[in-house]
A and B are shown apart, each in its own frame.
Chain A
Amino acid sequence: MINLKNAKWNHYINYIVVAAVTIIFAILSLTGFLESSDKYLLEKIAIAITLAVSLSMVVGFLGELSLGHAGFMCIGAYLGGKAAVILEPMLGEWPALIVSLVIGGAVAAIFGIIIGLPALRLRGDYLAIVTLAFGEIVRSIFMNSSKESFGGSLGLDTPRFNKDILFIIAFVMVLATLAVTQNLIRSKHGRAITAIRDNEIAARATGIDVTKYKLLVFAISSFFAGIAGVLYSYSNFTVQSTKFSYNYSIEILVMVVLGGMGNINGAIIAATLITFLDVELQTILTGNLAVLQDLIYALILIVLVIYNNAPALKPFREKYNIKTFIGRFRPHNPSKHKDDEAKWDRVPTKIKMDEVLSVDLQVSSPYTPDKPGKEGK
């Protein structure tokens, strides 16, 4: 039986839920129950989860603020899309998709390393500004490219792929992202990465190769952002550079922050929720009401963030969260970790205060220069 209170199981839950969702919708899709708008929504959700999980590596686990995630996605979308356009007639549908995924990811990873280099010297807000600028530079380069190369401001048209299968591929990519991220974090390398986040000076003094791990995290994170970009280009049939503005980077960051820094389960839930909201608002509010889309979206975000963080709502949150809900059906069985904590609190103190004082006062050994004594002038 899976015990939700035990943090050890959290990463398995991610695999189980994502795999279950994939299988259920794959069956529904192949038997023809899903409408094309549902498939579109599922693709969007899968892309958002990939982006959120990969960004949470940088923000949540390495502890660096990156505002250029859409830039890496942009590189993946354009280069992967272009590769697909070129390769499709030569290789056919499937090989072209796989090769373009690899190309989009790899090129984005190389740029991730390049952007990771200043990250070794810059901290916090300064790095955020550099990554922000990077995202905008990438976007404007593609926007001003010639029509033959990347389509310029008209955008790049990408090949079509069977929509019944594309979202399944996207969800397989989510599983791959989860596997790589979680396996990395839950290993000695992940410990080194979180050590850098917790205290970089101590990590250096403990012999952790900070340079190597920062570049590694940036490379892996941007690799999956690139893959998300390629999937995006397949999902939309066209790549428009306007999509990858810094607003989109912020949106990905919101998913990570809303899910809780360094919490992959949370990032997945937040990405799903936000994407669902975004797409649904776009379909519900049409015509004159379309102006309300952004307003309502923003209002819901504000409410969510307040609900998640306001101290006044803490009792309410504890009463109605999923863990207590599941706990209601199970006998009370505190985990080992909690037990240890409780024991630590209950250890009786061995020190008697008067003893401490008497020992302190008796210090009068002849060589005690830090106490003003007789031998002082």
Chain B
Amino acid sequence: MSKIVLKTENLGISFGGLKAVQNLNLEIKERQLYGLVGPNGAGKTTVFNMITGVYKPTTGKFWLDGEDLTGKGQETINHKGIARTFQNIRLFNNMTVIRNVMVGLHNQPEFRCNVFTSIFRLPKHFKIERAMRDKAKKILDIVGLLDERNNLSCNLPYGKQRKLEIARALATNPKLLCLDEPAAGMNPHETEDLMKIVRRIRDEYNVTILLIEHDMKFVSGLCDEITVLNFGTSLVQGTPEVALNDPEVIKAYIGG
């Protein structure tokens, strides 16, 4: 029985009278590929926003590796080990690809240096910059963007921008990587490529991955376990085969 990385208990949030998410109980085990699916407006991204600190949950709690992170700020939660990507891509557009990843490496303990080290250009500054560049190249290699490293990130095609977001999130060395619709806007080839990348990230970096996706081929081909959300509540949890064939789920998607 492997360790539980993320645990949520009765997690919920309401905006005024609207209960966006209610009573969500998740248990994501170490190195699992966990999927969060559901029709539009089911509250999937809201769940992401809660566990990454954008919203403060109104009910319930969540734990990362047994540590209660409910109501902590975004930066703190990122430092504790939850990194995310965004549904609508949010890159640092005026920076090159490699610098985007280097921003992700900013808080890694081995690259710590204070402002004065940089202002006075002490030897440590150059050492750290070189080390960051090398590390960023390694991460870019995994997502297959090494050759694009000197291009501005806004000049990348859509699929590559998504991969760059994953690389940037991965650079923060997370325990749990949350991917919000990573395959959206990708063609089947890119999707297949992305599946390989996600698996490789899991294997090489030992991260647990939680993902939201609408592409059911992607979800069923990749995830070990999924939760189907509808109207903010969890409908079914289980392996993709079981959960996606559940009559309740089919009803939620096509109505009835």
Interface residues of A (CB under 8 A from B): 179-180, 183-184, 187-192, 194-195, 197-199, 201-210, 216, 262, 336-337, 340-341, 344, 350-351, 356, 359-360, 363, 365-370, 372, 375-377
Known contacts A199-B92, A369-B254, A376-B254: A188-B74 contact under CB 8 Å: no
A207 touches B79 (CB 8 A): yes
11 new A-B contacts, CB < 8 A, other than A188-B132, A201-B54, A206-B172, are A188-B102, A198-B93, A205-B84, A206-B106, A207-B107, A262-B94, A356-B188, A366-B245, A367-B241, A370-B253, A376-B254
Known: A191-B103, A367-B240. A205 touches B188 (CB 8 A): no
Assembled-state Cα–Cα distance A180/B120 (Å): 8
A183 is contacted by which of B103, B106, B118, B168 (Cβ under 8 Å)? Answer: B118
Beta-carbon contact of B253 and A187 below 8 Å: no
Residue of B95, B118, B256 near A184 (CB, 8 A) is B118
How distant is A223 from chain B, measured CB to nearest CB, in Å? Answer: 12
Using a Cβ cutoff of 8 Å, how many contacts connect chains A and B?
A: 143
State whether the Cβ of B55 lies closer than 8 Å to any Cβ in chain A: no
Minimum distance in angstroms from A313 CB to a CB of chain B = 24
User: Are A365 and B75 in contact, CB atoms less than 8 angstroms apart?
Assistant: no
Instruction: Output the least CB separation between B46 and chain A (Å).
Output: 15
Give every chain A residue within 8 A of B54 (Cβ-Cβ). 201, 205
Task: Give every chain B residue within 8 A of A191 (Cβ-Cβ).
Answer: 95, 99, 102-103, 106
Q: Which residues of B contact A179 (CB under 8 A)?
A: 119
Is B14 an interface residue, CB under 8 A from the partner?
no
Interfacial chain B residues near A369, Cβ < 8 Å: 216, 244, 249-250, 252-254
Q: Kindly state the interface size class of chain B when it binds its partner.
A: 35 or more
Chain A: CB-nearest residue to B172 = A207
A367 contacts B92, C-beta separation under 8 Å: no
Closest to B52 in A: A205
In the complex, A195→B216 CA distance in Å? Answer: 34
| B214 contacts the other chain (CB 8 A) | yes
Query: How near does chain B come to A15, taking the closest CB pair, in angstroms?
Result: 13
Q: Taking the nearest CB of chain A, how far is it from the CB of B110, in angstroms?
A: 12
Q: Which residues of A contact B79 (CB under 8 A)?
A: 207
Contact residues in A for B119 (Cβ distance below 8 Å): 179-180, 183-184, 187
A344 touching B155, Cβ below 8 Å: yes
Contact call B250/A375, Cβ cutoff below 8 A: yes
| Distance in angstroms between the alpha carbons of A368 and B148 in the assembled complex | 35
Q: Which residues of A contact B52 (CB under 8 A)?
A: 205
Task: Tell me the residues in window 209-249 of chain B with beta carbons closer than 8 Å to chain A beta carbons.
Answer: 214, 216-217, 220, 240-241, 244-245, 249
Q: Which of B111-170 contact A (CB under 8 A)?
A: 111, 113, 115, 118-121, 125, 128-129, 132, 148, 150-151, 155, 168-169
